Amino acid sequence: MKDELYDYFLNLLKKKFPKRADLTRSLVKLLSIEKEAVYRRLRKEVPFTFNEVALISRVWGISLDTMVRVDPARSLPFCLQLTDHVNPLPEDLQEMEHFTEILRFLRDDPRSEIMEVASLLPFSLYHGFAYLRRFSLFKWMYQYGETARVPSFGEIVLPEEMGRLMDEQSKLLKGVARTFYVLDHMMFTYLINDIRYFASIYLILPEEVEKLKEDILKLLDYLEVLAATGSFPETGNKVFLYISPINFDTNYCYMQGDTVQVSMIRSFVMNVLMSLDEFAFKKLKNGMLAMKRSSTLVSESGEKHRIEFFERQRALVEGLGRTSG
């Protein structure tokens, strides 16, 4: 690896783990080598092997395109994180732990911010509701799981370690200084239609539909609190809630702090395309800001629009149990 490429690779690692101790500890665990061997690689006395670079790139989402600097105008480097949340391998848990570490850096940064433009419920909103969380896992298994038989909604179980990491991520996301949600006005319509379909093919039982209905109504109550107060009740950190009249094809998200810049595109229900590339971050952020400009702010303002929006969503949800199955 040429010196300039090696230096660039080291800089990418430092962006992942701004604190040297965290980087060293993570490399020791990932590569199964001694701490002194890691120090020698970081001091450039001994180079990372090709296999080590490949492993780091795969597990930590560092695009090799980014390293060789493919023309950014034609190729934006994103890495697809295909995490299996239901039957996780050690590598899946490792990826989750690394993302959790990124969120810890953001939580401790007073200037951090997150924006999510969403057609599907954002993870940070639905995770606190057990049946909605299970529904996301169930839908992922139904569409992308690699099992011979599709499990029913009631059979889905979140593994303990995966649940612990997701719980921590949910708390950390609410610890970010400023959060912006730009929600597709059809978001709850999409969700209700999905539940109705799965109920119609008997993968969700009528009593489970009622539990999902209860969770959605509780989520709407929670969202209305966020909109009215402009902050998370758990942390007091600022929240800006927008409703978009334009439909989105998926969820887009950026996370930004003094030492962290992450851009993500949601795919396969619960997985993400992730990039640490600066050019990709700027392009995605600019597009998301354009989406925000065409949307209506309903937190701490736009009271009439806010009331009408939540009344429509509750009316939609109230009809769920009567038309399912």
Q: Would you list the DSSP string of 103-125?
A: HHHHHT-TT-EEEEEESS--HHH
Could you tell me if 252 and 109 are in contact, meaning their C-beta atoms sit under 8 angstroms apart? no
DSSP state of 69: T
- Do 45 and 182 belong together in one domain? no
Residue 303 lies in a domain: yes
Specify if 132 maps to a domain.
Answer: yes
Instruction: Decide if 204 is inside a domain.
Output: yes
User: Residue 323 has what pLDDT?
Assistant: 46
Same-domain check for residues 25 and 100: no
Q: How far apart are CA 320 and CA 325, in angstroms?
A: 10
Contact 324, 195 (CB under 8 A): yes
Q: What is the spatial distance between Cα 262 and Cα 275, in angstroms, rounded to a whole number?
A: 6
Say if 73 falls within a structural domain.
Answer: no
Host domain of residue 45: 3-60
Cα separation, 154 vs 199, whole angstroms: 12
DSSP secondary structure letter of residue 267:
E
pTM of the entire predicted model: 0.78
Structure-block tokens of residue 140: 């992922």
Say yes or no: 121 and 148 in one domain.
yes
Examine the domain organization and report whether 37 and 183 are in the same domain.
Answer: no
Q: What is the pLDDT of residue 235?
A: 95
pLDDT, position 203:
96
Can you give the pLDDT at residue 301? 81
**224 is a domain residue:** yes
> Is residue 98 within 8 Å of 175, Cβ to Cβ?
no
What is the model's pLDDT at position 320? 87
Tell me, yes or no, whether 69 lies in a domain.
Answer: no
Query: Is the same domain home to 153 and 39?
Result: no
- Is the separation of the CB atoms in 223 and 313 below 8 Å? no
Does 36 lie in the same domain as 118? no
| CA distances for 44 relative to 7, 33, 58, 286, 318, angstroms | 9, 16, 21, 36, 62
Show which of 11, 30, 60 is a domain's final residue: 60
* φ, ψ (nearest 5 deg) of residue 268: 50, 45
Please indicate, yes or no, whether residues 312 and 171 belong to a single structural domain of this protein.
Answer: yes
Full pLDDT tens readout for the chain, 325 residues: 557 778 878 888 887 788 888 899 989 988 999 999 999 999 988 989 888 888 887 777 676 655 555 455 555 667 777 888 888 989 889 889 988 988 998 998 999 999 999 999 999 999 999 999 999 999 998 988 766 778 999 999 999 999 999 999 999 999 999 999 999 999 999 999 999 999 999 999 999 999 999 999 999 999 999 999 999 999 999 999 999 999 999 999 999 998 788 999 998 888 888 888 788 899 999 999 999 999 999 998 878 889 999 999 999 999 887 544 4
Task: Give the C-alpha distances (Å, rounded to integers) separating 311 from 189, 224, 236, 318.
Answer: 13, 11, 26, 11
How crowded is residue 66: how many other Cβ atoms within 10 Å of its Cβ? 24
Q: Are residues 177 and 305 in the same domain?
A: yes
Specify whether 149 is located in the same domain as 236. Answer: yes
Tokens representing 95? 């990826």
94 and 56 housed in the same domain = no
Query: Any bridge partners for residue 180, and if so which?
Result: 115, 240
pLDDT digits (tens, 9 = 90+) for 9-68: 888 888 778 888 889 998 998 899 999 999 999 998 898 988 888 888 777 767 665 555
Q: Which residue from 278, 220, 291, 296 is spatially nearest to 249, judged by alpha carbons?
A: 291
Q: At what angle do helices 303-318 and 206-229 cross, to 10 degrees?
A: 170
Using DSSP's 3-state secondary structure scheme, residue 129 falls into: coil
Bridge partners of 242, per DSSP, are 182, 297
- Closest alpha carbon to 227 in 242, 244, 245: 242
Same domain flag for 55 and 86: no
Tokens 């690779």 sit on residue: 9
In a domain, 65, yes or no: no
275, part of any domain: yes
Domain count, the chain: 2
**Residue 16 sits in the same domain as residue 152:** no
What is the structure's pLDDT at 86? 86
